[in-house]
Chain A
Amino acid sequence: MFRFALRRSAWAIPTLLLVTFLVYIALRMGTDPLASYMRSNPRATHTKIEQYKKLNGLGSNYVTGYFSWLKNFVTFNWPRSIKGSREVWPELKDAIANSARLGIAATAVGVSVGLGIGIFAALRPGGKRDVAVNTVAFVGISVPPYISAILLQLVFAVYWSKWFGNSLFPTSGVYPPGQDGFDLVLMIKHMALPTVVVAIQVIAVYSRYMRSSLLDVLNSDYMRTARSKGLSEFRILMRHGVRNALIPVITIAALDIGAIVGGLIITENIFDYPGTGKYFLSAFGNGDFPLLMPLMVIIVASVLLFNLLADISYAVLDPRIRLD
């Protein structure tokens, strides 16, 4: 087991290097970092330009350029942003923290509701509530996050205040302008709508996974054995049914991180929420190479990490899987 995990992890590092190399090439070709720098800093001196090129590894071909960028990256000698020459790390850190908060809240709500209604539907396949859950899941899959975001904004921000006189949930930012310091109630109010938008997607996907996985398990022989032993229905469902049904669901969950991050990026932009999504789109719009590269490294690393977790969790949870 341990050797399997070790071997898989060892593979992750060359993969990370290779993928960041490809991202480096794609960004260098796509955003043209030098031209964007000149556009944002038309009066930059020659030495400034040389320094910018050196820190980002833009001076030479792709391979040597990548390695000199990598050296600066791992020694934390990060270049400043093109626009406004800001430090990258504090900004990135805040963006990630905000996104993580939203992402975890939405995943927690989405997974618990999704698994719950998935189990609920699987208990009576073909019954009324199965059809209802199925329909809800289909609507959830078919409504893209920007549409649910717009409709929620329309209802809660515009029409709620028109009908009831006060706006229930604000539609942008983390705090109202002028607020400083921590305020839990305000924060939850601001996060409510974006959380719902992301959670809808999660619920739609997970209820279907859980339903089909649990249905497979419920039809298996060991369920009949458990019943013939005289265990209570609840115990059969929880200990033998749900636990086994969770194995494939967890694996898919770890692979789903990209979809959740993707949903976050879209949602944050609509709600003007200062997370990685806004960070990415504004940096991408400016062609801000120094801001983009660290974010891309973190995205690639987390995708690889969750891929790895999926593989390992699958092996740990299901003893029937042979590792070699």
Chain B
Amino acid sequence: MIDEPLVSLSPRQMAWRRFAGHKAALICTAILSFLVLAVIVSPLTARYGVNQSVKAPPNSYLPPSKLAWLGTDDIGRDLYSRLIYGTRVSLLIGLFSAFISVFVGCVVGAVAGFRGGRFDDVVMRITDLFLAFPFLVALLVVRNMFGSIKWLTYIIGDVSSLRFIIFLLSFFGWMGVARIVRGQVLALKEREFIEAARASGASRAYIIKRHLLPNSIGPIMVALTFSVVGAISGEATLSFFGYGPQPGAGATSLGLLVGQAKGAVQTGFWWIALFPCLVLVVISLCINFIGDALRDATDPRMDAGK
């Protein structure tokens, strides 16, 4: 007597079930989707323009009220609306540079792991060194170096442009991903199915593209989520110290808003400090939780106990 029909689950379905069993990650996904949606339809959700004052002066540093839900800043702009516009810019930076980092990291990591030898040694040494270097110092020094190369500015833009920040954060972002992918490739490449592919005459590029990367999709997804957090907080760090993007009139970024908090502390305008920080923390917390749940969900070792 079998009451339940036997169902076989594909690895993807099993991963999805494990992910769905992670409550915190589900809540975080909901919060993040809500935030992203609110940011995408920013013309509807924002109540004022990015540089618009809420009312005629005196309008600076108004505490949170019906007029301005999260208060106003030094020149009377609505903090809530500015947060929405700023989050949009920050998410854009985070997503773009995460995708570039993951793409470059996958290529370099897979080639290094698969070929081994001198190339592998050199790439991993460089990676180690950069990962161990204080992030802000490396970021600033390299930022100025790239900024001083004239022909490069035609491609990646001026030091204060969004394109440049995305490029800079990707330049530092790929190494962590490369390391993860390399480890994965090293573990996979001795397996029988790779040997079979090689025996049947598949080229190196084909094996990487067709077998190694698809089999590493779990760790790559996890690396992608952490890259997004890394890029968002990297932008915020740069902006905080005044080396961030200047998205031009009519735009701001989460980092720039958090940077304003610095001045607001001593004067006691708590809303200027609290809300931008809160948004940044909530975003990175959510993405971190989702990444962690993804790791648990896609790690085949998790099957053992269940």
Contacts and interface: CB of A to CB of B under 8 A. Distances in A.
A270 B259 CA distance: 11
B132 A262 contact: no
Interface in B72-130: 125, 128-129
B241 interface: yes
Given A142-B284, A147-B281, A30 B289 contact: no
A56 interface: no
Contacts of B24: 135
A138 B289 contact: yes
Given A139-B285, A150-B265, A270-B262, A307 B128 contact: yes
Interface in A120-153: 135, 138-139, 141-144, 146-147, 150-151, 153
Interface stretch (B10-18, B49-57, B144-152): B144-152
Contact of B131 (A135, A159, A171, A258): A258
B292 interface: yes
B137 A262 contact: yes
A147 B285 contact: no
B129 A19 contact: yes
B137 A303 contact: no
B132 A32 contact: no
A284 B140 contact: yes
A162 B267 CA distance: 12
Place the interface of chain B in its size category. Answer: 35 or more
Contact of A154 (B128, B133, B148, B270): B270
Given A162-B268, A299-B134, A23 B141 contact: yes
Contacts of B261: 150
B288 A138 contact: yes
B156 to A, nearest CB: 15
Place the interface of chain A in its size category. Answer: 35 or more
Given A138-B285, A269-B241, A158 B268 contact: yes
Interface string B228-242: 010001001100110
B133 A32 contact: no
B80 to A, nearest CB: 19
Contacts, number: 120
Contacts of A157: 265-266
A150 B147 CA distance: 30
A258 B142 contact: no
Nearest to A258: B132
A255 B132 contact: yes
A52 interface: no
Interface in A217-271: 255, 257-259, 261-262, 265-266, 269-270
A174 to B, nearest CB: 19
A300 B274 CA distance: 36
Given A147-B280, A158-B265, A265 B258 contact: no
A266 B145 CA distance: 21
B143 interface: yes
A184 interface: no
B294 to A, nearest CB: 14
Given A147-B258, A150-B265, A29 B148 contact: yes
A17 interface: no
B167 to A, nearest CB: 15
A265 B137 contact: yes
Contacts of A261: 134, 137
A151 B136 contact: no
B258 A146 contact: yes
A26 B131 contact: no
A31 interface: yes
B133 A299 contact: yes
A313 B137 CA distance: 27
Contacts of B145: 25-27, 29-30
A265 B148 contact: no
B268 A30 contact: no
Contacts of B258: 146-147
Interface in B256-279: 258, 261-262, 265-266, 268, 270, 273-274, 277
Q: Which 7 A-B pairs have the closest CB atoms?
A: A30-B144, A262-B134, A142-B285, A30-B145, A142-B284, A258-B132, A26-B145
Given A29-B148, A30-B147, A265-B137, 13 more contacts: A15-B125, A19-B129, A23-B141, A30-B148, A138-B292, A146-B237, A147-B280, A159-B270, A162-B268, A281-B241, A284-B141, A303-B132, A303-B133
Interface of A: 15, 19, 23, 25-27, 29-32, 135, 138-139, 141-144, 146-147, 150-151, 153-154, 157-159, 162, 171, 255, 257-259, 261-262, 265-266, 269-270, 280-281, 284, 296, 299-300, 303-304, 306-307
22 contacts: A15-B129, A19-B129, A26-B145, A29-B144, A30-B144, A141-B284, A142-B285, A142-B288, A144-B284, A147-B281, A150-B265, A153-B265, A154-B265, A154-B273, A162-B268, A259-B134, A262-B135, A265-B134, A266-B136, A269-B241, A303-B129, A307-B132
